Structures are given as C-alpha cells and as structure tokens.
Amino acid sequence: MEEHTVEQIELANAARRSLRQKAPVQKYCQTPWNPINDERAAKRPVTAWVQFVITRNASGDFKHISIAERSKLLSQEWKALSEDEKKVSTIHNHPRG
C-alpha cells in the first residue's frame, strides 16, 4: 500500500466503482472490487448538519432519550435555526474542529 501514491489508489478505486456498477447486484455481498482503504487520503468535510448533531449529542442533553426521539428533537431544533445560526453554531461548537 505504501508503495502506491494517493492518486494511484484513487484511480484504482474509481475503476472498482465502475466495475461494481456493471456487476450484477447482490445485497450484502463482498465483491473483489471493494474500495481500497488508504489512511493517507483526504477525508471528506463533515456537513453542517452532522456537526450540529455531534455537538448536540456531546452536550449530554439527550442522555436518557431513545435514538428515534433524539433524532426527531434534533431535526426540529435544526429546522428552527436560521441559515446564519446554522453556520455559526456549527463552526464554533464542533468538538472536532
């Protein structure tokens, strides 16, 4: 793995995605074209919604609430925020960055 560049692995994964799309669909099946995991590859940015959920869950306000109910409450809170509040609250409160 270390002998290949990140770009080479990305190209190989693109080819594997293409092969998977052409192969017959079998649910829960390991194919020989699963992506190659590369720890050096850049991570996708976390969306504002995910940052909000992580921050709110870390606050401890939902400790004894079921996941389904927690999701409903978080969704309602998120929808009640304005666009500016969504941007500001996720930038300043996100524990990972």
Would you give per-residue pLDDT tens digits along the chain (97 residues)? 678 888 888 898 888 888 877 776 666 666 677 777 888 887 888 899 999 999 999 998 888 999 999 999 999 999 999 988 887 765 555 454 4
b/e sequence 6-40, b meaning 16+ C-beta within 10 Å: eeebeeebeebeeeeeeeeeeeeeeeebeeeebee
pLDDT at residue 86 in the model: 83
